[in-house]
Amino acid sequence: MSLAGRTALITGGAGWTGQGIARVLCERGAHVVVNDIDASAADALVGELRTAGQHASSTVFDVRDYDAVIAGVAAIPPVDILVNCVGMPGTPNKHVDFASSDPADWRPWIEINIYGSLNCLRAVLAGMCDRGWGRVIQISSAMASRGLPNREALLGGSKAGIEGALRSIALEVVDHGVTINTLALGLLENATVHAKPEIVAATLARVPTGRFIEPREVGAAVAYFASDDAAMATGQTHHLNGGAFQGR
């Protein structure tokens, strides 16, 4: 599954999951462009990858700003692979019931998880279609397909929204050699940063493999859907969660 000669843009690429994806795609031969709003973190990852002899560069833009996304994409090589990894996670250590929530607090999930992903897709999709090849991998959550009593309705709802849009968009571009797939993740290694320990422990107890997902495992799955070998996979949500949830 060589990705030699391909350019991959990873949004949120300097984050926990994005780093794992970047390292694997570089190892498969891709030129990885790390996008993040944290320029120093993106540059640090790019420096590490270049030191290892791999092809990487960085670009800084806020995925919520459509004009900034268009300008950022125009300044890098044509994008063959888009990995929408940036996302608004669950509310760190807050976990407020929806009935008690403030409507003013809903907006970040919609702006980042839906509009942010659509902005980036819109910026690269026409070029992919013109060139007759493209791969889009959306990083999502098992909560898009399954309700959980963990007070994170906006996370699940926003991820379900982008998944629904991508299923239809995938059919619009399938004749142009472009595939669009979603990778819905279960419990990641950094879950303890984003959730209360008791919630993490209870969730981990329901994972048959008995452990967290490692960033490189996410990268390996992304590498498959980014490859020529995955040409028949499109418009689908694929679950990576250690057997905790088997999807629909």
For the chain, which domains are there? 7-238 (3.40.50.720)
Range from 48-57, 105-114, 129-138 carrying the lowest mean pLDDT: 105-114
Pairing status of strand 31-35 against strand 134-141: unpaired
pLDDT of residue 112: 95
pLDDT higher than 50, residue 177: yes
pLDDT of residue 234: 98
In angstroms, rounded to a whole number, what is the distance separating the alpha carbons of residues 227 and 114? 25
- State mean pLDDT over 57-67: 98
Count CB-CB contacts under 10 A for residue 74: 10
Q: What is the pLDDT of residues 189-224, one digit of tens each?
A: 666 565 667 777 777 777 777 778 889 999 999 999
pLDDT of residue 147: 73
Range from 70-74, 81-85, 89-93 carrying the lowest mean pLDDT: 89-93
User: In three state form, how does the secondary structure of the chain look?
Assistant: CCCCCCEEEEECCCCHHHHHHHHHHHHCCCEEEEECCCHHHHHHHHHHHHHCCCCEEEECCCCCCHHHHHHHHHCCCCCCEEEECCCCCCCCCCCCCHHHCCHHHCHHHHHHHHHHHHHHHHHHHHHHHHHCCEEEEEEEEHHHCCCCCCCCHHHHHHHHHHHHHHHHHHHHHHHHCEEEEEEEECCECCHHHHCCHHHHHHHHCCCCCCCCECHHHHHHHHHHHCCHHHCCCCCEEEEECCCCCCCC
* % of the chain exceeding 70 in pLDDT: 90
Count CB-CB contacts under 10 A for residue 168: 10
Average pLDDT of the chain? 90
pLDDT of residue 55: 97
pTM of structure: 0.92
- State mean pLDDT over 9-17: 96
The sign one gets for the Cα dihedral 54, 24, 193, 142 is: positive
In angstroms, rounded to a whole number, what is the distance separating the alpha carbons of residues 129 and 141? 27
Please report which confidence band the pLDDT of residue 25 belongs to, taking 50, 70 and 90 as the band edges: very high
Phi/psi at 145 (nearest 5 deg)?
-110, -5
Structure tokens belonging to residue 89: 């996670």
Going by C-alpha positions, the residue among 179, 204, 186 that lies closest to residue 143 is: 186
In angstroms, rounded to a whole number, what is the distance separating the alpha carbons of residues 237 and 145? 9
